[in-house]
Structure 1
Amino acid sequence: MERRQVLLALLYVAALLPAALSQTVSSFASNELDALQSLWGAWNESTPNTNVNLAGWFSSPGRDFFPCNTNVERKWRGLTCLQHRLNDSTVINWIIGLTLSDASIVGILPLEIQKLSNLVTLTLTGNANLTGPLPPEIGSIPLNVLDLHDNGFNGTLPKEISRLSNLLIIDLSGNRFEGPFPTFFILSVRTALQVFKLARNLFEGDIPQNAFQNMTELLTMDLSRNKFTGPPPNLTFSKNLNNLNLSSNLFTGFSPLPLYFSSLLPSKLSVVDLSDLNIGGGVPDWHSLELPRLENLYLDSNNIAGVLDISAVVGSSFGRTLRVLSMKNNNITNVVYTNAFIDGAQPQIFLQGNPYCEGSTKEDDGKRCYCQQVCFLSPSSSGRKSDLRVIIISTSCSGVILALVVLIYSFVLHRNRMKMRSLYEKIEKSEVNAKRFEYNQLRVATCNFSPKMKLGTGAFGAVYKGILPNHTVVAVKQLFLKTKEACDDFVNEVLLITNLQHRNLVCLKGYSLRGKEMLLVYEYVENGDLEKLLFSAPGGSTPQALNWQARMNICMGVAQGLYYLHASSQSRIIHRDIKASNILLDQKLHPKIADFGLARPLQDECSHIVTDHRAGTLGYLAPEYLLFGQLSEKADVFSFGVLLLEIITGRKNRNPKIQDNEYLPIYACRLHGDGKLMDLLDRRLQLDSTNTTELKQVHRVLKAAILCAQMSPEQRPTMFRVLTMLAGDVDVEVPKTIDTISWSEFRSHQLSGSSSTATRSRSTMMYGDVTVELSSMKSILTNQILAEASC
């Protein structure tokens, strides 16, 4: 288990300790309640409109003060609680997240923040009047995320923050911090740090050349708009660095640029902003810039002079990947190009503010393209005459036809506007803080949804890579279906997961609605989905084998994300579509659960619900849900069990293209009964036969998978129990024969009564790549899932 998972693991184990068993309903550590009292006391008198900005926060000595008590109507804005129900009368609570964005907080951050001793996420952003220095006590909190951007904090950074050794993200941008570069923090940070942002502060002075030697996992760094001096930093240790912004500082030594790129930067960079650094010199030798993954390069306001050769840019090592080259406000006097480049086979090039762009651009193809980003070849004179004839003929059309077209268009436009207004109202009336993106902003970010930017296509939409104006890389999902059902799924996803924060859940950054276009904006996850990594590879080649540790980390991460949904979020959430293609992997193969369009909240007083509306993917659906509409957390546990088996075996739960291909959970049960459970292992796994710890771990995960994939929900463990099994905190015992309902009895008495319910579900569902009519589910279940097998 990696160090960054230690905190959550301790929380899971803590729930098993005898001391916890004696606690009462909704028990809290007194230090956490004291911390909330201190925060409320520091903010409530000066913060305007506290009933909105600090909704649900209040002071009371009674039991109703408990902010994570789900029976209390007043839910505290911004708090994320980790809860575990030990029995019918005992619930353990921890505060693990505090997120208050754009809450107009006025005051300081009191030192009592340290009493939130289980806090892993602290996000206070967009509060301009949240001022004062950071309390040194913040260094004693086991934070994974420290995001304080766009507040009014000031002073020097306390050296105690060097104790935050588990940080994944630190963003202190947009404050008034001052002093030298915080070397004490950087040199003490472990390799886990992925995002490091100090932009828009008052830091100054040189940065030591060895400052980033420990930041080997860094993905994003932003030091822009400070007063850093001296040579630019050496970032060769950060081999995975993707996004770099050093703009608007006082660095020296960038010229010649090719030397800086080759000697001080890693090769994986995708976005580089070196604007406003007074680099000077001539136009760079593009062929010497060896950055094969470069997509966006910003060199604005650098006093770069000379002639820009577009063919040299496009023909460079990064020419195929380059999307944006911005050289505004320099001294470019001329541009050399060919007609072929004007037609669109080139990146967007911005040259506004250069001498080249002075004067009229109307008749100049190059100036029009590079100074206004309107790229086309001027038509010939004969072409213009032809166009004129077309215009004359067009204007002679009947006014009646034109009026009819306008009337139909107006009706459709009005109907679409009313539909979009209804969706907006559902989102805006909710308590979630969902960011609304402009459609044109996302269209530009994805290069007009260019096929070159497409990351993948599913049954309900396509996902594109997008680069926002602030250089943030995102994933934009464009939904295909425009039905009411699709709109409901869209709103459902926005409302349910906008405020969820967990390292193993994909972060939804916002949404966009325009006409019939429905777009969702997610964080960008580099390695795509688990299904492609396990089962397919480009060109039909064999997928790259994942070693056991990588697979184990994926299993643990998905389990942690699911447990958070079931027990730790503000409302219990059932995902309903846990499968390999909905598990995304970042650069370090850490998993993130995605696609919450089918997710559904479960009220606290309900152990399960019964619904006529089934949704999900065949092969992963729990039998009680598929046949009778009985939905509970155990449905997700079943899907997770199937997923575990796929991860271990490296094969799909069932391949409909292969005749007599046995359903994976049934096959696993049969091998377990025969004492051959280890025969399930993916042949590509190279296990060390002398490593008894690893072998025991594999065997433990296999048995946990079988328990999760039992046909009876009562036989399946909770996700909390699953986590303790995977972590090795409890023994996993699977009897040779489980005492459960017989499949013969299940078929004869229950399956016969399910057909009427099934016909009220969606007409079709997806089983892998095959669409299956619901009328044929009975035979599918009988032949594949409910086979004569006893595990």
Structure 2
Amino acid sequence: MGVERRWVCAASLCVLATGFHFVYAAQSPEGFISIDCGGFEDMVNEWDGLVYKTDKDMIGSGMSNQILAEYRPRWGPIYWSLRSFPNGTRNCYRLKTEAPKMTKYLIRASFVYGNYDGLNSTPIFDLHLGVNLWGTVKLDSQCMEAITLPDPSSDYIDVCLVNTNSGVPYISALILRPLDVSLYRLDPIDTAKFLVLYNRFDVGGTNQITYPKDVYDRIWSGYNCQNNTSLVTTNAVIAGSNNTNDNDDDPYKLPMLMLQTACRANGSSFPLGLGTAYRSYRLYVCFHFAEIEKHEAGKFRDMKIVLNDVQTITQSIQLQYLKPHTVCTKGLDVNHGQQVKFSISATSISSLPPILNGYEILYAMDTPNPLTFLQDLKAISDIKQHYKLSRNWEGDPCSPPEFSWKGLNCNNVQPWARIISLNLSRSNLTGDIPSTFSMLTAINYLDLSYNELEGAVPEFLVLLPQLRLLNLSGNKLTGVVPDTLLQKSKDGTLILSMEGNPGLCWSPPCNQKKELEIPILFSVIAALVFVVILLGVTIICTRKPKENSIESKQEDPLKLKGRQYSYEEVVGITENFGVVLGEGGFGKVYLGSLKDQTTVAVKMLSATSQQGNKEFRIEAQLLMVLHHRNLVCLLGYCDEGQHKALIYEYMANGSLQQHLKNQNTNSNTDTLSWIGRLQIAVDVSQGLEYLHNGCKPPIIHRDLKPANILLDTKMTAKIADFGLSRTFATENESQPFTRLAGTPGYLDLGTKGCGNVNKQSDIYSLGIILLELVTGQPAITRTSGGNFHILNWVEPMIQTGDIQQIVDFKLGGQFNHNSAWKIIELAMSCTQSTVLQRPDISHVLGELKECLPVHQSTSPQTRIMSTRILSESEIAPSPR
């Protein structure tokens, strides 16, 4: 694949001459996006009948141009116009992907210079797919094609032109085509990469093949048979090609015209040289065969494919008459300067020489740059729209770092880039400060000074856990500075600048009017909460108790009201189990996507699982009837023979365990803030309070630990993994188990000897989790001298009275001393050796809520927030 052949596809792929005229309906297939860049109006391409849309409403930058008249006879009309980008370093098209999630896409960009600028000098510039380099454009007529599987959380693909100071970037046409997800499969090591096309050949063909002869709009170039091969053709119909109705067995849907021609080796081998590698890369090649010769009885063709006369790609290929057969290699490591040569050879049992109908050459492109975290992307995009910012904010906000948006600083650490600084000072901003800013949860520095901002200073700014500097000076803000912001300023945890806002009030007298409104507001809220609680209690009390134990239901197969999926559907949802999110005692957990584009986590029961059918049934039956904002939601299941799976909502921010260790999280990799830890403690307690007191009969989790506490996009904590859970007929019933269950370190010492389990077993586990949140220490520390439990570490530390030595040093002293002591005392009471001395979960929850900063504020907005949090926990619904 030498440099001289790097762009062999340029002329053959892009030339759509006007001498060919076909009459097709001017309607594009579903999911096709065809853009005539620089065009003034939509037009129908004479070559393929597809409608190409003008880009004038798709991109806010660039200039429309026309190639010179003398070049137009060589090109179809869609290549007569182009868009150039003399301004800005990076300019991007954003292509909406409206097909179902987990769909692959073919993307093709075409560039016809045509001396449009009269300089007679072809520009050289880079093309990016998303945030990573796709290739370099440097010829006066060039075409680049890629195949990609977008991030499941995104609904778009960016194609960006990057100025490298070697001429003005330009583009003539841009297309996107959805592909079957099973096509062009990457090895696990390459799953984050995308494929770039080197070339695609119709072996034995002479003319270019494209849509509609190829339903995916792949472009096939003719490949003449060489001296050591002979041309073979047929007019017979090829079963399974895209021109017949029986092509469901072949997802490649190859064009019949391509399959009807082939080159047959004159000897026993068909050599296929790709040239010399211009760099190191991972190579993928797809070979397409169809037997188009009828043979005498007993004659058959048996072939093998070998790389560089050493590496066997496939041992035996036998073809059926008039039926396509495709062989795609796995990723092949090719070194810089290495010769790349394939041989398609007859095996020792073959009575006929090998043939080849077509082949495709692709290579995996590295993707070192992470995308911006989806929540940050949505936030900054909404801010741009809210303030109608005209600055050249194109493509991904953070990545690549050299092209990050002006005014932004990011932490570009895999797997996501996070916005940590935003400076919109003197940007002519008008209006209020929208709540969208609260989504930037990793931001440290926010400067909105010297604009025309109006309205109140929003209190949600205090909920930004990492915010260290807030500058709102020089605006027209009014009202009272929120007490919570002032308190953070006094504590030294926030640098606050608000000078130059004449209508803004800092002093206590400004609070008088608001304080008069508080009793009235609280009276209304209290009345509403009382009515709702009363209604909830009435509903719960009128329900009939369920059977003593879910274990008593031994139905097989599983009888549930939830959505049941077949194993084949699970394979499709997970794209053949392509992305592993994690692994536990149950088995591996895979990333997936439902037909409605909902991203999910699919937990498959492994044949070697420490848990089994019993735990599978318990977890599925429990989660189908449990519904609470702090419990992970089960969306469906699969129970098909040996194939068992549970399909959950996708928890984008991983587990609490990962965050406490600062590893493998999708959110900010910095240490969890003190406020964040308090809120997680409240969330977990709310979920546990629902299990213990909101469910009839009560449910004991039995394996509560940070690894089973998951965090969604808003960092809301939810309890997961109910395979070891049990229900009891009465509130205070204990039950002995012959098999001890749970995780060392979180297992109640009182049950360790006798196996008795009740609510206080979960309370003990919760106490250990509270200690981990405060101290940052694991439940068990393994040392050369043996295992060391967190209680053995914290008890003597408490005696010293030095809270600074107890609280996680990674917080850098940014915590509230009173609430820290309160949580430690609460955790110690939860882990009392005498079960009766441990508090009820309702008491724990109430104490934890008192630690939240919102309870220390006197502002009406914050008090409403406190009431809302309380009502959500106390009127939790009973199981359906």
Same fold (TM over 0.5): no
Which one has the largest radius of gyration? 2
TM-score by length of 2: 0.40
TM-score by length of 1: 0.44
Greater relative contact order (Cα < 8 A, sep 6+): 2
Higher strand share: 2
